[in-house]
């Protein structure tokens, strides 16, 4: 039996439609609170521990199984189609072919798929802690100390009441007039046992050393702890893949722009855009 | 006969100039609207619905401006796209002016993420109109123009996804998450990919294929606008 259908664009079309429908189902599923909570719990767990959350949510489990199945088929179809239909353009060095950028676009899309998959299965190494000045914690092979908090906005705006609410509200809802992320910093000292480095991190401005990213996700003054000063919520992330991930994404973007350029030049040559 | 032919040519040229003028005026109007919005905000209000609509109008009218008008169909294209841009501008005026005071807007990556969506939408609207006109009255230059705009729309959307992923990573330590917003982004990007994967063999001719592409792009436009305005 011929397996040509596995290589075909028709299968790609069907899979793309099915995946779109699947994501649309995902959007409507996430509108319901019970399912949203299950999905949210998956964000903080490696894939090996998903069963704990999914055992009581068969609909979410079925949706995820369908999603992975469709993604696998689309990945396979992309790889086979690239090998049979797109690789010959490069193998025969047809550099002037309008299809020249198709292979990099498809391969980079596949790589992005793969990085998403690896990220999903293996990379969930992050620690979230709250620290006052002078406190420290361990994250993986790193010891991280909060040396100083340099908070320049009005701290009374982030001082919480007994219910945990502050006048400025959640960090993502704060006005730049009461909280400007560009002027508020936390100064960290990080050691891996052999070397020690130090640097600033703030909200949306992480401090990076090797595979470690330290991000401040909140500045706050807890109820009745004004004497201790501003407390910082810190996220330490270990993700050795992240640079490769974004390099692939940027190369994909570049390939698409080059494809646009190739098409535009070709349309000029054909007389489509003569002025 | 010669006089009649000359008169017809002159009338046609006037129609082309009028169409070109409409798209240029619409572009200038939208840029002015955005400049005023920005001038009245603390930071560039990239995340607001008003900015979303105005940037869509800017990009849509720009897409009409860059097409050299050579025939009646292309003039009609410029008029229709400019009409859409005008509707978006009028609707944006009915909304509350944005404050642009959110601390989140200090991040360049957040701004790029927010801006990418209306850029993609403006390009998708212009491409959809071009494919529709080509489907009903064949015009190869419009088809070529629409193909390029569709490619740029998908690329702009992907660029925004990359910026958004990086923003999420530096802010919350993960480049993506299991949430409705991410599912919607994935759905929209897949639909942009779908525009380039319609099997030719399933369509009777080039016009039917163009109609298929216009349908997918039209669906994307409705989806993006509906999601943003809801």
pLDDT at B206 over 50: yes
Q: Of B103, B107, B141, which has the smallest distance from its Cβ to A175's Cβ?
A: B103
Which of B41, B44, B152, B183 best tests the A interface by mutation, with the highest count of A CBs <10 A? B183
Residue of B nearest to A117 (CA): B176
Facing residues of A221 across strands? Answer: A159
Residue of B nearest to A78 (CA): B197
What is the pLDDT at residue A174?
93
What is the pLDDT at residue A275?
35
* In a shared domain, residues A104 and A69: no
* In a shared domain, residues A131 and A199: yes
Q: How far is A60 from B75, CA to CA, in rounded Å?
A: 50
pLDDT tens digits along B39-60 = 999 999 999 999 999 999 999 9
What is the pLDDT at residue B3?
60
Provide the domain limits for residue B153.
Answer: 2-229
Q: Give the pLDDT band of residue B4 (cuts 50, 70, 90).
A: low
How many interface pairs between A and B have CB atoms less than 8 angstroms apart? 154
* In a shared domain, residues A158 and A132: yes
Number of domains in chain A: 3
* In a shared domain, residues A132 and A197: yes
Q: Considering only residues 43 to 102 of chain B, which have any Cβ-Cβ distance to chain A shorter than 8 Å?
A: 43, 68, 99, 101-102
* In a shared domain, residues A57 and A136: no
Residue of B nearest to A202 (CA): B171
Number of domains in chain B: 1
Residue of A nearest to B69 (CA): A275
Cross-chain Cβ contact A206/B170 below 8 Å: yes
* In a shared domain, residues A104 and A231: no
Provide the domain limits for residue A204.
Answer: 125-240
Distances (CA, A) of A18 to A21, A67, A238: 5, 9, 34
Task: Name every chain A residue with its beta carbon within 8 A of the beta carbon of B147.
Answer: 263
Structure tokens at A166: 């502050």
B45 phi and psi angles, rounded to 5 deg: -80, 65
* In a shared domain, residues A83 and A134: no
In a domain, residue A274? The reply is no
Task: Name the minimum distance, in Å, from the CA of B212 to any CA of chain A.
Answer: 12
Q: Of B102, B162, B194, which has the smallest distance from its Cβ to A17's Cβ?
A: B194
Q: How far is B129 from B147, CA to CA, in rounded Å?
A: 11
Answer yes or no: are the C-beta atoms of B167 and B174 closer than 8 Å. no
Mean pLDDT, to the nearest integer, of A241-248? Answer: 86
* In a shared domain, residues A160 and A131: yes
What is the pLDDT at residue B54?
97
Residue of B nearest to A127 (CA): B173
Of A93, A111, A137, which residue constitutes the final position of a domain? A93
Listed in order, strand segments (DSSP E) in chain B are none
Which of A9, A14, A23 best tests the B interface by mutation, with the highest count of B CBs <10 A? A23
Cross-chain Cβ contact B183/A256 below 8 Å: no
Q: Does B184 touch chain A (CB under 8 A)?
A: yes
pTM for this model (two decimals):
0.92
pLDDT at A1 over 80: no
Task: Name the minimum distance, in Å, from the CA of A81 to any CA of chain B.
Answer: 12
* In a shared domain, residues A188 and A116: no
Cross-chain Cβ contact B179/A40 below 8 Å: yes
* In a shared domain, residues A18 and A101: no
In a domain, residue A119? The reply is yes
Answer yes or no: are the C-beta atoms of A8 and A80 closer than 8 Å. no
* In a shared domain, residues A89 and A21: yes
What is the pLDDT at residue A274?
43
Which of B41, B66, B141, B173 best tests the A interface by mutation, with the highest count of A CBs <10 A? B173
């Amino acid at each position: 039996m011929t397996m040509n259908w596995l290589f075909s664009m028709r299968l790609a079309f069907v899979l793309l439609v099915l995946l779109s429908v699947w994501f649309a189902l995902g959007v409507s599923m996430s509108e319901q609170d019970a399912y949203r909570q299950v999905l949210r719990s998956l964000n903080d767990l490696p894939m090996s521990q998903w069963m704990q959350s999914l055992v009581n949510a068969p609909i979410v489990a079925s949706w995820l199984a369908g999603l992975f199945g469709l993604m696998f088929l689309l990945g396979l179809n992309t790889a086979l189609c690239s090998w049979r239909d797109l690789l010959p353009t490069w193998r025969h060095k047809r550099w002037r072919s309008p299809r020249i950028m198709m292979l990099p676009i498809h391969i980079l899309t596949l790589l992005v798929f793969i990085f998403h998959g690896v990220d999903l299965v293996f990379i969930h190494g992050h620690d979230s802690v709250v620290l006052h000045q002078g406190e420290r914690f361990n994250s993986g092979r790193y010891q991280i100390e909060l040396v100083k908090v340099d908070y320049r906005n009005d701290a009374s705006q982030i001082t919480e009441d007994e219910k945990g609410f502050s006048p400025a509200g959640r960090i993502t809802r704060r006005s730049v007039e009461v909280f400007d992320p560009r002027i508020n910093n936390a100064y960290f000292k990080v050691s891996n046992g052999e070397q020690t480095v130090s640097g600033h991190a703030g909200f949306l401005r992480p401090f990076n050393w090797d595979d470690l990213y330290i991000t401040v996700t909140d500045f706050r003054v807890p109820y009745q702890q004004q004497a201790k000063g501003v407390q910082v919520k810190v996220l330490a992330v270990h993700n050795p893949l992240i640079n490769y991930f974004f390099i692939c994404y940027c190369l994909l973007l570049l390939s698409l722009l080059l494809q646009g350029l190739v098409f535009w030049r070709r349309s000029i040559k054909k007389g489509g855009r003569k002025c | 006969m010669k006089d009649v032919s000359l008169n017809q040519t002159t009338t046609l040229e006037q129609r082309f100039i009028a169409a070109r003028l409409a798209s240029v005026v619409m572009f200038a109007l939208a840029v002015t609207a955005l400049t005023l919005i920005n001038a009245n905000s603390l930071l560039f209000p990239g995340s607001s619905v008003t900015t979303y609509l105005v940037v869509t109008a800017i990009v849509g009218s720009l897409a009409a401006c860059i097409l050299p008008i050579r025939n009646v169909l292309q003039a009609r294209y410029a008029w229709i796209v400019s009409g859409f841009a005008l509707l978006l501008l009028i609707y944006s005026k009915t909304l509350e002016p944005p404050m642009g005071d959110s601390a989140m807007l200090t991040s360049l990556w957040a701004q790029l993420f927010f801006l990418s969506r209306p850029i993609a939408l403006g390009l998708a609207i212009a491409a959809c109109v071009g494919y529709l006109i080509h489907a009903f009255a064949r015009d190869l230059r419009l088809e070529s123009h629409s193909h390029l705009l569709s490619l740029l729309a998908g690329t702009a959307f992907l660029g925004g996804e990359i910026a958004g992923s990086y923003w999420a990573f530096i802010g919350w330590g993960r480049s993506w998450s299991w949430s409705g917003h991410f599912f919607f982004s994935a759905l929209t990007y897949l639909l942009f990919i779908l525009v380039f994967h319609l099997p030719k063999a399933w369509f009777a001719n080039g016009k039917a294929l163009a109609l298929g592409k216009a349908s997918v792009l039209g669906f994307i436009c409705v989806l993006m606008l509906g999601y943003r305005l809801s």
